[in-house]
Structure 1
Amino acid sequence: MNKKIINIAVIAHVDAGKSTLVDAFLSQAGVFRANEEVKEQVMDSNDQERERGITIYSKNCSIEYKDYKINIVDTPGHADFSSEVERIMKTVDTVILLVDSTEGPMPQTRFVLSKALELKLKPILLINKIDKKDQRALEVVDEVLELFMELDADEEQLEFPTLFGIAREGIVQYSIEETSKNLEPLFETIIKQVGCYPLELANEPIQLQISSLAYDSFIGRLGIGRLFKGVLKENQQIVVSKNDKTTVKAKISGLFIYQGLKRVAVKEAQAGEIVVVSGISELTIGDTICDPENIDPLPPIIIEQPTMSMNFLVNTSPFAGKVGKFLTTRNIKERLEKELEVNVGLRVEPLSNSSADGFKVLGRGELHLSVLIETMRREGFEIGISRPEVIFKVDEKGNKLEPVEKVIIDVPTEFAGTVINKLNLRKGIMLDMHSDGVRDKVVYKVPTRGLIGFKTEFINDTRGEGVFVKSIIGYEDYKGKIDGRQNGVLISMANGVTLPYALNNLEERGILFVGPQVNVYDGMIIGLHSRNNDLNVNPTTGKKLTNTRASGSDDSVKLTPPKTFTLEEAIEFIEWDELVEVTPNDIRLRKKWLSENERKQHRNDPH
């Protein structure tokens, strides 16, 4: 008790080095044993986080420095997971804004910084990766200052301290010229900038707002949040003030705090601490835990609304149920309800005016929703996924509005013309362009609709050398029709196994998505047609056997390796009348209506 507590969050754009900086914090604070083997990005513990190399969920840890306890929150840098950032901002005293010394402030930097400034936090700027050959750290400081002014920072916030560092080596220094061996300048700046949480607030009635939820298979649902006032005790009787202003009586059965990377059970916790509570079944994000004698709820946590939706449908393909364990509408409904408890950026609605069994799932972007789909797939679900659709709004005058994103691309000059042309076709408007003769940096404003399917094309057009980042900037007037995929698809018209002879003949028709000895069904998409119409083909046809033999007629068939899709690429590829069939083992593309007659009936029906 009576500890000096400071809570900080590390915020930045993707790949600026947030998780690496947290690694350095933990290492230099002595959290790891001398002989302990430590993974890089130790906070990115989720399988998908490690595979994708990004942070998806915000996480907590703590370190001790001198007589201070510093709670650290590692946050996602991708725009699709900004709801994770929004809700934890209230729990911290300051934020370390990490900016790459070469890239400067990126779209997501603007978003996370605006949330911090709205809550009157005083950020600390850390220019990272100053060991890069093309670093321009001092220019970047000026760019960040301009960003602060654009976001209406007050005079106190504009006096932000600036530090320079190499997170990978655990070094932070006060200036470019100075040298340092550790993070001490950053620790000292945090203490000077914030000071500890007011100790006198421990004498007031308890007030704890839930900013995150978790689940433990032994103790049930966990609520995570900052204790703003009072001293919270294990087995204490409390009142939960819900977001809808109703109240529920409950008891704290378990109380935990963070020590290093571990969650540790304690008998009591003081004001300022980030705590984890168990024993309250009906707990949601934004709820305030209060003293029964003094119910004083905090304002609810407001999360930005979803911008994109997909339909999660029961898998109706002929292969349904061969691999997965969870197939029914009830299974999908229960899983989505469980996800809603912890994923605040998500919404689920029943499908209206549809004969299909499933749900409309609304999220913050393709990646936000595809992470959920991938998680469900690994858990044993089989589902059909529809093409992503943006969520439109209507203003007071009845005008149709759609989400618009700021896009920054950095490409070799030789590819810039192709990329610019494609963004123009997708109703993009160029805002800025710089070139150094080798690479071009282009800033665009593009409707979210126009960016569906663009990333895969961008990677192909720039041969993997381009950098593409985007972030939602708001809603604007509807931009009109945007053309989708230019090519049709090759559709299997037979059930069976693909044969090399048939595939060899089909190669001249387009690009194949399946190899030989693959099970296919009527209505399954097996390739991209070289023309703009769909073509029904039979990939199961074998060579007719005769008694005639001729030199060269029985040579082995040499096939081009088929194009395979990741989940995100498959979702981007499909059109309105197509689905992605997701199972634990396979990702297949198919037509929504499997038989040719049904497809003809619905040919002109975009819904």
Structure 2
Amino acid sequence: MQKIRNIAIIAHVDHGKTTLVDKLLHSSNLFREGEESGDLILDNNDLERERGITIVSKNVSIQYKDVKINIIDTPGHADFGGEVERVLKMADGVILLVDAFEGPMPQTRFVTQKALGLGLKPIVVVNKVDKENCRPDEVYESVWELFFNLDANDEQLEFPVLYGSSKQGWMSTDWKKPSDSFEPLLDAILEHIPPAPTNEGTLQMQITSLDYSSFVGRIAIGRVARGVIKENQPISLVKRDGKIIKSRVKELHTFVGLGKMKVAEVKAGDICAVVGIDGFDIGDTIADFENPEQLEVIHIDEPTMNMLFTINNSPFFGKEGKFVTSRHLHERLYKEMEKNLALKVVPTDSADAFLVYGRGILHLSVLIETMRREGYELQVGQPQVILKEIDGQKCEPVEILIVDVPADVSGKVIELVTQRKGELLIMESKGTLQHLEFEIPSRGIIGLRNNILTATAGEAVMAHRFKSYEPWKGTIPGRLSGVLVSMEKGQTTAYSIDKLQDRGRFFVDPGVDVYEGQIVGEHIRENDLVVNIVKGKQLTNMRASGSDDNTRIAPAIKFSLEESMEYIQGDEYIEVTPKNIRLRKIFLKEADRKVNAKKFQ
């Protein structure tokens, strides 16, 4: 019987999870001498590499002292909490990674709470002890305090702790005495993480994640909780609602190194991929053919935000994308819902528009960015928080916001947050930085990051996590200034941009195609202003001295997708195509905007 340990790696975003997995893979001699493996081996899609974050959890395994260690790398960002919650079901223990300077962050708290609640055994790794200003001993104390506050049991409170630097490739039980390898961590996994339980009896396996192959279709991934699963075995698929579908396993694969290996059977305790089952969803149970027994269904926290997704109906419709119709949009969103558990899609009165519910702006923007890279053209509306009625009272989601900022600009941050109905809870010094904690409605966080980064010259570090639904806090002021809207369709000219510069800042460069109703800049006043940005200079053969000055144009402001989502108001859309992100008014003609103005007040 093969000895198995199943372990998930959890941490706040940017504390070094994926780098740690890289080093574990290297230390188990998975790569040949001199083989080029690169870094961040598991962040293998373009979006993950560009943003430097993990979005989808991954499975790999290594061999160490005749024990197979299945490692699950999880995302660290709050918006992908749904991903973390379900994959923890496959683990028997967790490695909690904490930065030696920052200590436990809001996201650490969120995933640690889930792991402790499932009764998983933790190993704490204080990472990045090679950094300046690091404070490993204080961080250890604050992790213990966090566990205590999260009601960890006595066994969980006696967690082993290791110190090290994933980047430099060493771990040790004493941070003042660096070792030269990762063996202390691997030994701690074998010693402290319980072996995977080998439960005898009829087959039970919960599907906790899925993969897709263009050859065999959808592949179910999960841990065998009881019994044995074999190739060609007839099984019952128990759906979340208790309905049973009879099916058959075609192929079985276990995770070996970075890839998969085909096997004839998998025993309880190991993680495997099952090919050949149709119609399954995450959370379903693969059970015995004759006596199917269902495992407890995975519960995922509710979404807190929604956005309207609709087809692109601007004058530039269909010029840049491959998939532009409502049928394409419908199919793609429902396909996403199969694997993205925290996402919900609801049809609206219009056949062309869908309400998409998600965990936050990053969660939704990653979906939109993935779709535009696949060739979709669509428009999205302003993100809205989801309101609930609790005991006859209108309630909204409230979050804990943590900002670390240089002390001399902390006053600006407090002012910006309190304007948006935030309440200051904690203010303390942390090294050279001021550590601020607020309670703020989720609505207040939309659009706040840009303002804080501008006010602090980019030095603020922000993190937030969902706390609970609380009574409505009142209206929050929206965008302070109006926008400049194009009056005509055509190509922008340097001459007209130059002449209009005193009216505001522009989002477009000269020589760009625009259409009537497109937002081309930000007005200096509170109202919207319609401008003619395509007018050229009247050229005559008369010349006057001084009238032919060169135009001096300030560079255009370029918004990322998230910045655009935070910028727009209720009467505006973002037009997203594979090549461009444009802002526009929902009603392109000025007369229509005036008629419908009351709808958006």
For the superposition of Structure 1 and Structure 2, which TM-score range results when normalised by the shorter chain? Answer: over 0.9
Aligned equivalents of 2:539 and 2:40: distance in 1? 59
Aligned equivalents of 2:94 and 2:63: distance in 1? 18
**Residues 1:398 and 2:395 aligned together:** no
Choose 229-238 or 522-531, whichever is displaced more. Answer: 229-238
User: Could you tell me which residue of structure 2 aligns to residue 273 of structure 1?
Assistant: 270
Judge conservation of contact 2:93–2:194 (CA < 8 Å) in 1: no
**Residues 1:364 and 2:359 aligned together:** yes
User: Could you tell me which residue of structure 2 aligns to residue 429 of structure 1?
Assistant: 423
Q: How far is the alpha carbon of 1:567 from its aligned partner?
A: 0.8
Q: How far is the alpha carbon of 1:35 from its aligned partner?
A: 2.2
3-state DSSP of counterpart to 2:121? coil
Aligned equivalents of 2:304 and 2:507: distance in 1? 30
User: Could you tell me which residue of structure 2 aligns to residue 529 of structure 1?
Assistant: 523
**Residues 1:285 and 2:279 aligned together:** no
Q: How far is the alpha carbon of 1:544 from its aligned partner?
A: 2.1
Pairing of 1:484-563 with structure 2 (within 5 A)? 484-563=478-557
Aligned equivalents of 2:336 and 2:548: distance in 1? 56
Aligned equivalents of 1:570 and 1:198: distance in 2? 49
Aligned equivalents of 2:529 and 2:143: distance in 1? 53
Aligned equivalents of 1:328 and 1:296: distance in 2? 43
- Aligned positions, number: 601
Q: How far is the alpha carbon of 1:420 from its aligned partner?
A: 0.9
User: Could you tell me which residue of structure 2 aligns to residue 319 of structure 1?
Assistant: 316
Choose 259-268 or 429-438, whichever is displaced more. Answer: 429-438
Judge conservation of contact 1:313–1:356 (CA < 8 Å) in 2: no
Q: How far is the alpha carbon of 1:438 from its aligned partner?
A: 4.1
User: In structure 2, do the counterparts of structure 1 residues 545 and 110 end up closer, same or farther at CA, with 3 Å as the change threshold?
Assistant: same
Deviations 1:129-188 (A, max 9, x none): 111121111111111111111111111111111111111122111122333111111111
Aligned equivalents of 2:123 and 2:397: distance in 1? 31
Aligned equivalents of 2:83 and 2:541: distance in 1? 69
User: In structure 2, do the counterparts of structure 1 residues 255 and 356 end up closer, same or farther at CA, with 3 Å as the change threshold?
Assistant: closer
Give the letter for the 2:10 counterpart: I
User: Could you tell me which residue of structure 1 aligns to residue 90 of structure 2?
Assistant: 91
Judge conservation of contact 1:512–1:526 (CA < 8 Å) in 2: yes
Deviations 1:22-58 (A, max 9, x none): 0011000011111211121100011100000000000
Give the letter for the 1:497 counterpart: Q
Aligned equivalents of 1:197 and 1:544: distance in 2? 79
The one of 302, 310, 331 aligned to 1:334: 331
Listed as ranges, the gaps of 5+ residues in structure 2 are none
Aligned equivalents of 2:31 and 2:504: distance in 1? 55
Aligned equivalents of 1:112 and 1:310: distance in 2? 26
Pairing of 1:4-403 with structure 2 (within 5 A)? 4-199=3-198, 201=199, 203-352=200-349, 357-395=352-390, 397-403=391-397
Judge conservation of contact 2:343–2:359 (CA < 8 Å) in 1: yes
Aligned equivalents of 1:447 and 1:53: distance in 2? 28
Judge conservation of contact 1:206–1:231 (CA < 8 Å) in 2: yes
Aligned equivalents of 2:80 and 2:412: distance in 1? 30
User: In structure 2, do the counterparts of structure 1 residues 299 and 356 end up closer, same or farther at CA, with 3 Å as the change threshold?
Assistant: closer
Aligned equivalents of 1:429 and 1:65: distance in 2? 50
Aligned equivalents of 1:476 and 1:31: distance in 2? 50
Q: How far is the alpha carbon of 1:343 from its aligned partner?
A: 0.6
Give the letter for the 2:63 counterpart: E
Q: How far is the alpha carbon of 1:604 from its aligned partner?
A: 1.8
Q: How far is the alpha carbon of 1:445 from its aligned partner?
A: 1.0
3-state DSSP of counterpart to 1:418? helix
User: In structure 2, do the counterparts of structure 1 residues 314 and 268 end up closer, same or farther at CA, with 3 Å as the change threshold?
Assistant: same
**Residues 1:439 and 2:436 aligned together:** no
Aligned equivalents of 2:290 and 2:90: distance in 1? 24
Q: How far is the alpha carbon of 1:556 from its aligned partner?
A: 2.4
Give the letter for the 2:562 counterpart: E
Judge conservation of contact 1:413–1:437 (CA < 8 Å) in 2: no
Aligned equivalents of 2:31 and 2:356: distance in 1? 41
The one of 420, 434, 448 aligned to 1:454: 448
Q: Which runs of 4+ in 1 moved over 6 A?
A: none
Aligned equivalents of 2:145 and 2:196: distance in 1? 30
Q: How far is the alpha carbon of 1:477 from its aligned partner?
A: 1.1
Judge conservation of contact 1:80–1:367 (CA < 8 Å) in 2: yes
3-state DSSP of counterpart to 1:275? strand
Q: How far is the alpha carbon of 1:436 from its aligned partner?
A: 6.0
Aligned equivalents of 1:308 and 1:442: distance in 2? 25
Judge conservation of contact 1:367–1:568 (CA < 8 Å) in 2: yes
Aligned equivalents of 1:155 and 1:365: distance in 2? 35
Give the letter for the 2:438 counterpart: Y
Aligned equivalents of 1:167 and 1:499: distance in 2? 52
Q: How far is the alpha carbon of 1:437 from its aligned partner?
A: 8.4
Aligned equivalents of 1:492 and 1:247: distance in 2? 57
Aligned equivalents of 2:228 and 2:10: distance in 1? 29
Give the letter for the 1:177 counterpart: K
> Normalised by the size of structure 2, how large is the TM-score?
0.98
3-state DSSP of counterpart to 1:178? coil
Aligned equivalents of 2:143 and 2:431: distance in 1? 25
Aligned equivalents of 1:414 and 1:580: distance in 2? 36
Q: How far is the alpha carbon of 1:356 from its aligned partner?
A: 7.6
User: Could you tell me which residue of structure 1 aligns to residue 587 of structure 2?
Assistant: 593
3-state DSSP of counterpart to 1:5? strand
Give the letter for the 1:206 counterpart: L
Amino-acid identity (%): 51
3-state DSSP of counterpart to 2:597? coil
Choose 69-78 or 28-37, whichever is displaced more. Answer: 28-37
Judge conservation of contact 2:326–2:351 (CA < 8 Å) in 1: no
3-state DSSP of counterpart to 1:463? coil
User: In structure 2, do the counterparts of structure 1 residues 436 and 227 end up closer, same or farther at CA, with 3 Å as the change threshold?
Assistant: closer
Aligned equivalents of 2:194 and 2:404: distance in 1? 40
Judge conservation of contact 1:255–1:278 (CA < 8 Å) in 2: yes
User: In structure 2, do the counterparts of structure 1 residues 135 and 436 end up closer, same or farther at CA, with 3 Å as the change threshold?
Assistant: closer
